[in-house]
């Protein structure tokens, strides 16, 4: 799930147009955001772009977290449906 979060954060940064500000540090910055360390991630950005990057970092973290919650919910729902389908009828009465 952590890889899913980091990958989604990387995609959000790229889609926001801030990839040029991050430069070659995209992998490290996205991993820091995924760990919840936005402060360290912002320090890797040039000073003049830090104010613009903070909302992008927060929004990308929340978007990735929502994706993880959605995937977890779908897995739990799939497990519940398959458990119900596998159960014998006599156990349900």
pLDDT in tens, 2-50: 777 888 888 888 888 877 777 788 888 888 888 888 888 888 888 888 8
DSSP assigned state of 37: -
Residue 86 is predicted with a pLDDT of 84
- Round to whole Å and give the CA distance between 56 and 20: 13
- Give the C-alpha distances (Å, rounded to integers) separating 76 from 8, 70, 79, 91: 21, 10, 5, 21
Q: How confident is the model at residue 77 (pLDDT cuts 50, 70, 90)?
A: very high
- Give phi and psi for 44, each to the nearest 5: -80, -10
49 Cβ neighbours under 8 A, 6+ residues apart: 18, 21
Give me the pLDDT at residue 71, please: 92
Q: Domain of 68?
A: 2-92
User: Quick one: which of 75, 70, 64 has its CA closest to 31?
Assistant: 64
pLDDT at site 89: 65
Number of domains in the chain: 1
pLDDT value at residue 90:
65
């Amino acid at each position: 799930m952590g890889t899913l979060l980091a990958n989604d954060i990387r995609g959000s940064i790229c889609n926001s147009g801030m990839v040029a500000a991050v430069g070659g540090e995209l992998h490290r910055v996205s991993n820091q955001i995924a760990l919840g360390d936005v402060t360290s991630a912002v320090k890797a950005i040039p000073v003049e772009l830090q104010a613009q990057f903070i909302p992008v970092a927060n929004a990308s973290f929340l978007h990735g977290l929502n994706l993880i919650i959605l995937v977890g919910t779908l897995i739990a729902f799939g497990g519940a449906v398959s458990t119900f389908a596998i159960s014998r009828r006599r156990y349900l009465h």
